[in-house]
Amino acid sequence: MKAPLPIVAAGTVILIGIFGCGGGGGGSSSGNTTPLSCGPEYLTPNYTQATDPGDNEPNLILTWPGFPLNVYYQTEETRTFGGNTFSTTDIFQDALARWVSASGGEMAINTISTTTGADIIVNVNQLGAAPGSGGTLGFTQVTYFPSTGQIVSARITINTWPGMTQAQFTNGLRGTTTHEFGHALFLQGHSDNTADNMYYQGSSSTDKVLSTRDANSFLTAYCGTFASRSRSREAVGAPGEQPVTITINCGH
């Protein structure tokens, strides 16, 4: 069970649970209001303290201790529709760019070409057939220190399948990957509003941009401290503590 936890300065929050989620859906624009003092109402409206409709538990936050983050796109798939070729790597980079934009451009990201030094690894997994209703579109594994809520590493896996339509391969994968990056970057829970990308259910063929609440929740988790979080600040836990890994399966 997830336990309630306040958001504090520098974004140090503790403990998460295991749950299912969704990706994709319709779109809305991003934005934010004037920030207040650091805390759960740093930017409103947000869902940092909402109840996750997927498991009826309070949302909890994990954060990276420093930036830039090194992202490695380990596997790639291409599909051709109407004479145009589309790459999963391009789609995934578009999805991550949404969160960079939500940070005001202050969250620094490096794309690297090896697992060595990678903070977030993104993979494509080819299924034998399309996932049925409630099937998995992708999943995120997050390794973190429970005592500090600091993320050590994350791995995102996005599912593809034979016979995908152009809408599924482009719009659907972009919306799903945007959702998965949200888990890898900060949110172990879900929005309680269908308008948000981080809502717990969605579509396998429709994109969804970040909403005002998505952006506000991301900024509130970090209290806007992206630029001041040096890469030299590695994730730490209590003396002798070992990091743990959870897997968040995301369906539709």
Which residues touch 44 (CB under 8 Å, ≥6 apart)? Answer: 33, 36, 216
Q: Count CA atoms closer than 13 A to 107's CA, side-chain side.
A: 24
- Using one digit for the tens of pLDDT, what is the confidence trace for 71-107? 999 999 999 999 999 999 999 999 999 999 999 999 9
**Mean pLDDT value of segment 186-197:** 94
- Using one digit for the tens of pLDDT, what is the confidence trace for 112-146? 999 999 999 999 999 999 998 888 999 999 999 99
- Using one digit for the tens of pLDDT, what is the confidence trace for 1-31? 343 233 333 333 323 333 345 433 333 334 4
Single pTM value for the model? 0.87
Nearest Cα neighbor of 46 from 102, 92, 100, 101 is 102
Classified as helix, coil or strand, 170 is helix
- In whole angstroms, how far apart are CA 140 and each of 36, 153, 156, 244? 31, 11, 4, 14
If pLDDT is split at 50, 70 and 90, which confidence band does 70 have?
very high
Domains of the chain in sequence order: 9-251 (3.40.390.10)
Q: Is the peptide bond before 53 cis (omega within 30 degrees of 0)?
A: no
